[in-house]
Structure 1
């Protein structure tokens, strides 16, 4: 091989090396101490990591997630409830609400979700269902409706009880449902909140310190009792990817927080949000009938999805016409763009015309018709027949003249 060829080959190899994407560093599975744990990706429900995720355990104040759901679904945020009497034990979390004072449901929920206030939970239960036992029946019925088969409740507060149990998997599934609510998402992502009751104001702090200390952590709820240990349902969002975690039975707050951070970071590192189809992206062309022109066929909307790192999606165009006849408006639907991931359709958007197609003129129609090979052959045959008829007529005329 010549020196010039060797140099060219080396340059090409270098170019390919620069162009090739760097391999993503392999992530080690999180080393955690929680006896029961899980982390999932929110948009797909993919389980990224789990450990005894279906083991029933005491769940402490993460019970209040269902209390919040019943309240969000059952009453308006601007409704006002009367605070119920509540005799708290020394170790219980309360917002120091006074029996008889009036407070909006929105503020009761902030006290419930941030300060984990048992007096707020009891007030919501009595105000919505008339009594705590009736409210607990609603909690259990809603858990059944949601398919939380390993979840049951004894109270709206989270105190230890023989039936007040759930699993890591059920807790993140419940958190997924709650995250559909804007008020819930905004509340659990706040480091603190101000509560108003008449002229009295209070400030409550979020017991989930991870929300205060880490910008990417955006929820959800802590819990702790002597029997349950430390519990935390967490959530985090980065670059359009959201993951949810749960750890149960932790020995302390430091272990609970460290394990939650490890799970959230592990989940976020394994996914990416990407644009699979751009709005107005040209995906096909169609010929214009009667003209030697084309019109672009484009996606009506962008399609974004969360994918596992290294995973690819398949984009298919369905029903696109090979030819379009005017008049057709710009943006007319002519097909469908389908996006599939792991063999499953995850999104569809219309395929539309990028520009209007005017109706063809008479001359364009005639020109197109005459340009076809069959038309040319027919014209030639007609011309030949015409010439033959003219010649035949002349012969007839000449013979008739000779007879005279």
Structure 2
């Protein structure tokens, strides 16, 4: 790997870790499934997370480490995407000696295939041959790639450990449902990943001849709002699925591990996705041009409306209320000011934390006060009238004194 590619890979890892920390550590709150309408699922380990809030909507032994089968390929994809950002780059497909029953993309040894097509062959049909090709392409060998997988796992704070890039059962090869959510959050930063896992099928044009692969995640096939992510199955690990979906503007990730059958896996996953999306709604606690205050104009007996400069849209639990408060406004306003001049800030609070700051601006232009308005305003003030009166008295007294002085002469 060249120095330039090493620097790019390091930068990608730093950005990924920062993004993950921001979402997982700064999330406003965490909820747990305790409702009567929580889905009855068979999976011994499961989780559902709402992405905007970071809430764990449903959790069942989600931190328990266990076999994860081909959902392992999510870590394989992450390492590949972070180290090979040019997805059009071609790599030679090595020969792969498959055991009976392995899932394959049926790649042709010796083909020069793009990284994008290798990812498609790995993620959609769960091709073990594609996963092995990616590992050798990125690291030179499978053992070297596995070291990269485990190094990355430690860097992002996962308890997951890997013995191969495919997901074959092996002692010490494990992850938790929570680990897989964190991996998926990092992968969703890559548009190519989001595009691939949301496809029903994909034609690998860089293969010769071209290969068409079909997504093994049947939920993507059946539900338009489901957009990923990865299936898995081995005899030891059972059936697994990392799912994702967006419905009515609510985005969620689900994970089920250890299900007894493919049907149970799919039923559990769609139940979790439906449940999690149903618990939230998109709300607008602040709309553009909403009047949040009225400030008096200096030297005039009128006021100017102060309004929100933008609309704020947030995801919230259905019973949740968001608050707003205005800070930093002056006591009055002196022109000239253009329409939209910022005079303060509107804060939107969710669960006691500020989640948005929007400028509070003038709804209309404010002209400069005229001389007569300034004079009239001054005359209307009591202290000004007092000073004027005092000045008149002083003038009268001075006039009397001058007159007496003239008479004395």
Kindly state the Cα deviation for residue 350 of structure 1 after the two structures are TM-superposed.
2.4
Residue in structure 2 matched with residue 12 of structure 1 by the alignment: none
Distance 1:134 1:333 in 2: 56
Distance 1:370 1:81 in 2: 85
Residue in structure 1 matched with residue 211 of structure 2 by the alignment: 202
Kindly state the Cα deviation for residue 285 of structure 1 after the two structures are TM-superposed.
2.2
Residue in structure 2 matched with residue 132 of structure 1 by the alignment: 142
Kindly state the Cα deviation for residue 352 of structure 1 after the two structures are TM-superposed.
2.6
CA deviation map 1:127-181 (0-9, x unaligned): 1111111111111111112111x21111111111112200111111211221222
Kindly state the Cα deviation for residue 224 of structure 1 after the two structures are TM-superposed.
0.4
2:124 is equivalent to residue 114 of structure 1: yes
Residue in structure 2 matched with residue 38 of structure 1 by the alignment: 47
Distance 2:64 2:292 in 1: 49
Which residues of 2 match residues 312-351 of structure 1 at below 5 A?
312-351=321-360
Give the 3-state SS of the residue equivalent to 1:135 in structure 2.
helix
Checking the alignment, whether the CA contact within 8 Å between 1:27 and 1:266 is kept in structure 2 is no
Distance 2:235 2:336 in 1: 75
CA deviation map 1:188-226 (0-9, x unaligned): 111111111265222111100011111221111100011
Residue in structure 2 matched with residue 74 of structure 1 by the alignment: 83
Which residues of 2 match residues 239-318 of structure 1 at below 5 A?
239-318=248-327
Distance 1:385 1:114 in 2: 96
Residue in structure 1 matched with residue 395 of structure 2 by the alignment: 386
Kindly state the Cα deviation for residue 393 of structure 1 after the two structures are TM-superposed.
4.0
Bigger drift between 49-58 and 366-375 goes to 366-375
Distance 1:265 1:387 in 2: 88
Give the 3-state SS of the residue equivalent to 2:205 in structure 1.
strand
Kindly state the Cα deviation for residue 395 of structure 1 after the two structures are TM-superposed.
5.0
Residue in structure 2 matched with residue 6 of structure 1 by the alignment: none
Checking the alignment, whether the CA contact within 8 Å between 2:48 and 2:276 is kept in structure 1 is yes
Kindly state the Cα deviation for residue 367 of structure 1 after the two structures are TM-superposed.
2.6
Residue in structure 1 matched with residue 169 of structure 2 by the alignment: 160
Give the 3-state SS of the residue equivalent to 1:275 in structure 2.
strand
Aligned equivalent of 2:97, options 60, 64, 87: 87
Kindly state the Cα deviation for residue 80 of structure 1 after the two structures are TM-superposed.
1.4
CA deviation map 1:296-355 (0-9, x unaligned): 222222211111110111111121222122233333332222111111222222223333
Checking the alignment, whether the CA contact within 8 Å between 2:111 and 2:208 is kept in structure 1 is no
Bigger radius of gyration among the two: 1
List runs of 5+ in structure 1 lacking aligned partners: 1-25
Distance 1:28 1:367 in 2: 68
Aligned equivalent of 2:221, options 196, 212, 218: 212
Kindly state the Cα deviation for residue 28 of structure 1 after the two structures are TM-superposed.
1.1
**TM-score, scaled to structure 1:** 0.88
**TM-score, scaled to structure 2:** 0.87
Q: How well do the aligned residues superpose, as a CA RMSD in angstroms?
A: 1.8
Which residues of 2 match residues 3-82 of structure 1 at below 5 A?
28-75=37-84, 76-82=86-92
Kindly state the Cα deviation for residue 391 of structure 1 after the two structures are TM-superposed.
4.2
Kindly state the Cα deviation for residue 61 of structure 1 after the two structures are TM-superposed.
0.6
Distance 1:69 1:365 in 2: 67
Kindly state the Cα deviation for residue 59 of structure 1 after the two structures are TM-superposed.
0.3
Which residues of 2 match residues 348-359 of structure 1 at below 5 A?
348-359=357-368
Residue in structure 2 matched with residue 169 of structure 1 by the alignment: 178
